[in-house]
Amino acid sequence: MPRKEIEGDWVMGWADRKRHMLVPGKDQHDRVIYGRTPFFEHEGLITPTDATYIVAQLQMPEPVHPEDYGFEVFGEVERPATLTLEELRRLPGHTVRAVAECAGNDTDFWDYLQSREKGGNMPKPSYELDDGEGFLKWRGMADQPDFDMAELAHANPSTGHVSGGEWTGVPLREVLTRAGVKDSAVAVRFEGFDEGRPDPTTQYLSVGRADFEVYDPGVINYDKGLPIEKAMDPDTVLAWAHNGEWLTHVHGAPLRLVVPGWAGNWWVKWINKIEVTDHMPDCYHQTHYFVSGKSPDDPNKKPMMALGVKTLITEPRDDDSPLRRGSHVIRGLAWSGEGAIARVEVSTDAGETWSDAHIEQHGDRFLWRRFSYLWDVDVPGRHTLMSRGTDEKGRCQPVTEWNFQRKHFDGIVPVDIAIE
Ligand SMILES: Nc1nc2c(c(=O)[nH]1)N[C@H]1C(S)=C(S)[C@@H](COP(=O)(O)O)O[C@H]1N2
Ligand SMILES: [Mo]
């Protein structure tokens, strides 16, 4: 195994190990707007803030000073109100630890697993962090006259859009209850103060082709309409703090929504308005973008919500090969969108047989669990390692069906190890 670099920054005057940070992707104004998490370096469950992935669909808005900040609560409520951060902070608080995963995380693995099953030769998508340049290359490309989809296809690595975090704020239901939600409430629409026209390139990239019409809503504010049941869940939080510190601007300061178990796009950042509605609102990123279905013109497209069940082997990795005969630890992370992980199994023979792994249990339903398995191997040659998770609801990996946008990937990704 190559020796890992341990020299890093000087912290409080002393040499330290290397700190793992995301590699930021910047927009044309040099604002950090995108970044992937180096989760292979995780030794615990909480992703440090500087390593937490970043996605902004429209633009990076101008920051709002917390003292100038307020948001409106209106619609199907008895007492519409404008709340400041100070007022919000007087309500009974709540801290939730949860995995945040972008719906598009690992999207290229849909194709990889299909190719592998058919004996094809698509290379395994890389988990390596890039320099953030790939992101810049495709942004806005669909609006260029010489736009070429083939060139674009795998322009941007899809991995690393997942982090574990601790979020502190107030349960959304505290705010809704105080405002007097009416029985007619069906959804709660959150609107961010970021605005822009959704880049059609995003959808071409997601689907993998460009021979269909992308719905163009024009300039919009980012918004989502959360169904009232999930809005009233005690773990759905309006958060102003992240990992023990004030929320940073890129992650949605002064206030963002935290929806444990549901894909990142529900976690609306930079909240400006909270509108209780008596119908499901037609939000671009809900009705047109983060949807399941068989094709772009499938009449049965549906908004995607909870994540499936997922495990990821973080150790060993394909490029650790060859390993010596003997005893090796297989280690990884497991999470689910509908509750705690109850079981993780590991296979060292490409899925022929499975054995239970050790799970580091804890009390946070929506935070990932570390698992490990001691692998004794004395047969040289190629070995294929796999892991699969089961959650407390009995859902077993993989859960999510293939969909044309290739969102919510939760397939079993094999790790190929050569033993010498
Ligand atoms: N206002 C607003 N909220 C947003 C977005 C956005 O573009 N604007 N992007 C969403 C998406 S797609 C994801 S994956 C998460 C990313 O959150 P993070 O950048 O804090 O990791 O924020 C969500 N909330
Ligand atoms: Mo996302």
> Does residue 268 have its Cβ closer than 6 Å to ligand 1?
yes
> Does residue 53 have its Cβ closer than 6 Å to ligand 1?
yes
Largest CA distance in the chain: 71
Strands of the sheet containing 271-277, edge to edge, are 81-84, 70-75, 271-277, 187-196, 220-227
The answer on 401 and 261 residing in a single domain is no
The answer on 334 and 287 residing in a single domain is no
The answer on 231 and 110 residing in a single domain is yes
Among all bound ligands, the one having the nearest atom to the CA of 104 is 2
The DSSP call for residue 373 is E
> Does residue 54 have its Cβ closer than 6 Å to ligand 1?
yes
**What integer pLDDT is reported at residue 384 of this predicted model?**
98
Q: Is 251 in a helix, a strand, or coil?
A: helix
Amino acid at 155: A
Q: How far apart are CA 40 and CA 3, in angstroms?
A: 15
Q: How far apart are CA 253 and CA 247, in angstroms?
A: 5
CATH number at residue 385: 2.60.40.650
The answer on 276 and 394 residing in a single domain is no
> Does residue 255 have its Cβ closer than 6 Å to ligand 1?
no
Could you identify the atom of ligand 1 that is nearest to the CA of residue 193?
1
Q: Kindly state the tokens that stand for 86.
A: 């100070």
Cα 334 to middle of ligand 1, angstroms: 22
**What integer pLDDT is reported at residue 1 of this predicted model?**
45
The domain boundary residue, chosen from 305, 321, 336: 305
Neighbours of ion ligand 2 (CB under 5 A): 55, 102, 264-265
> Does residue 113 have its Cβ closer than 6 Å to ligand 1?
no
Cα 353 to middle of ligand 1, angstroms: 39
The answer on 379 and 407 residing in a single domain is yes
Among all bound ligands, the one having the nearest atom to the CA of 51 is 1
Strands of the sheet containing 355-356, edge to edge, are 355-356, 341-347, 381-391, 415-419
The domain boundary residue, chosen from 274, 305, 336: 305
**What integer pLDDT is reported at residue 39 of this predicted model?**
86
Taking CA atoms only, the protein residue closest to ligand 1 atom 23 is 265
Q: What pLDDT tens digit does each residue of the chain (420 aa) get?
A: 445 555 667 777 777 777 788 878 888 888 888 899 998 888 899 999 999 999 999 999 999 999 999 999 999 999 999 999 999 999 999 999 999 999 999 999 999 999 999 999 999 998 887 776 766 677 788 888 777 777 776 677 889 999 999 999 999 999 999 999 999 999 999 999 999 999 998 888 888 888 888 999 999 999 999 999 999 999 999 999 999 999 999 999 999 999 999 999 999 999 999 999 999 999 999 999 999 999 998 999 999 999 999 999 999 999 999 999 999 999 999 999 999 999 999 999 999 999 999 999 999 999 999 999 999 999 999 999 999 999 999 999 999 999 999 999 999 999 999 999
Sign of CA dihedral 88, 89, 92, 98: positive
> Does residue 47 have its Cβ closer than 6 Å to ligand 1?
no
Look up the domain containing 124 and give its range.
Answer: 1-305
Q: How far apart are CA 77 and CA 180, in angstroms?
A: 5
The answer on 1 and 100 residing in a single domain is yes
Cis ω for the linkage preceding 316 (within 30 of 0): yes
The answer on 358 and 252 residing in a single domain is no
Q: Which residues pair with 291 in a beta bridge?
A: 303
**What integer pLDDT is reported at residue 48 of this predicted model?**
95
> Does residue 194 have its Cβ closer than 6 Å to ligand 1?
yes
Q: How far apart are CA 232 and CA 34, in angstroms?
A: 30
Report how many domains make up the chain: 2
The DSSP call for residue 363 is S
pTM: 0.96
> Does residue 267 have its Cβ closer than 6 Å to ligand 1?
yes
Give the containing element (helix H, strand E) for 167: strand 162-171
The answer on 123 and 19 residing in a single domain is yes
**What integer pLDDT is reported at residue 25 of this predicted model?**
85
**What integer pLDDT is reported at residue 4 of this predicted model?**
57
> Does residue 57 have its Cβ closer than 6 Å to ligand 1?
yes
> Does residue 408 have its Cβ closer than 6 Å to ligand 1?
no
Could you identify the atom of ligand 1 that is nearest to the CA of residue 57?
7
**What integer pLDDT is reported at residue 263 of this predicted model?**
98
Beta strands in 364-411 (DSSP E): 369-377, 381-391
Q: Kindly state the tokens that stand for 117.
A: 């099953």
Could you identify the atom of ligand 1 that is nearest to the CA of residue 58?
7
Q: Kindly state the tokens that stand for 4.
A: 């890992």
Amino acid at 394: G
Q: How far apart are CA 357 and CA 305, in angstroms?
A: 28
Among all bound ligands, the one having the nearest atom to the CA of 268 is 1
**What integer pLDDT is reported at residue 50 of this predicted model?**
94
DSSP string, 13-56: TEE-PPPP--EEEE-TTS-EEEEE--GGG-SSSSPPGGGS-EE-
Among all bound ligands, the one having the nearest atom to the CA of 158 is 2
The answer on 359 and 281 residing in a single domain is no
The answer on 334 and 284 residing in a single domain is no
The answer on 316 and 280 residing in a single domain is no
> Does residue 102 have its Cβ closer than 6 Å to ligand 1?
yes
The domain boundary residue, chosen from 275, 305, 335: 305
CATH number at residue 87: 3.90.420.10
Amino acid at 166: E
The answer on 332 and 273 residing in a single domain is no
Q: Residues near 100 by Cβ (< 8 Å), separated by ≥ 6?
A: 52, 53, 162, 163, 164, 165, 258, 264, 267
Q: Which residues pair with 417 in a beta bridge?
A: 383
Q: Is 229 in a helix, a strand, or coil?
A: helix
- Closest by Cα among 416, 417, 418, 411 to 112: 411
Among all bound ligands, the one having the nearest atom to the CA of 22 is 1
Q: How far apart are CA 83 and CA 241, in angstroms?
A: 17
